[in-house]
Amino acid sequence: MDEEMRGKNGKAVICVSTRVASLKKRLRRHLKSLGFHKTDDGTFAPPGAGKDVIRTIHSAQRDDRLALNRRFISENFSGFIKYFASGKEVDAARISPVLQRISGGTWESDLFRLTALTWSVPVSNGFGRRLRYLVWVNRGRGLSAGAPSHIAGIHGAPWPRQADFSHV
């Protein structure tokens, strides 16, 4: 090893960019704030498994997303609520789903956006091409929305009628 690669005490010195070190420190702090813990092998593990843990981990991000969309929600929620069916309105035996691909700049695009804001795990803006779909499950009432990798959403549940955006 070169003389320059040793510290005053003779031990090896690893050169690390202060920017990289700062980023790693901030990332570790953030993961710890979400409940992650360091394992014996030095990796970070989530605070548990299951949907509730995932929802909890993403709750701050979801709250931020709702706050950023406060105006959009208040301007559109009452006009779009008619597209959400309550559980009482959905007869599972009569569901006949229809898949509708969504184009940007349409009212369906705004409906998709509002629907996605009801999810407990926020949708990332991502990069590149994003395909969005509405899945109509009850002749224009009761919908689901998603991307090809995960079509998920409301499925006619009553939650959107009781949505509480007041903290936003």
pLDDT digits (tens, 9 = 90+) for 3-44: 456 767 777 777 777 888 889 899 999 999 988 989 899 888
The pLDDT of residue 153 is above 70: no
The pLDDT of residue 166 is above 80: no
Please enumerate in sequence order all residues whose Cβ is within 8 A of that of 139, keeping only pairs 6 or more positions apart, or say none: 96
Identify residue 154 by its one-letter amino acid code.
I
DSSP code of residue 138: E
Contact between 108 and 102 under an 8 Å Cβ cutoff? The reply is: yes
Identify residue 72 by its one-letter amino acid code.
F
Contact between 134 and 143 under an 8 Å Cβ cutoff? The reply is: yes
Strand partners, 98: 136
**Tokens describing residue 98:** 């229809």
**Tokens describing residue 9:** 């005490």
Helices (H), strands (E): how many in the chain?
Answer: 4, 6
Identify which has the larger pLDDT, 69 or 127. 69
d(CA 74, CA 118) in angstroms, rounded, equals: 13
pLDDT digits (tens, 9 = 90+) for 38-89: 989 988 888 888 888 888 888 888 888 899 999 999 999 999 888 877 777 7
Q: Write down the pTM of the prediction.
A: 0.63
The pLDDT of residue 111 is above 80: yes
Contact between 144 and 134 under an 8 Å Cβ cutoff? The reply is: yes
Least confident of 18-22, 69-73, 96-100, 111-115: 96-100
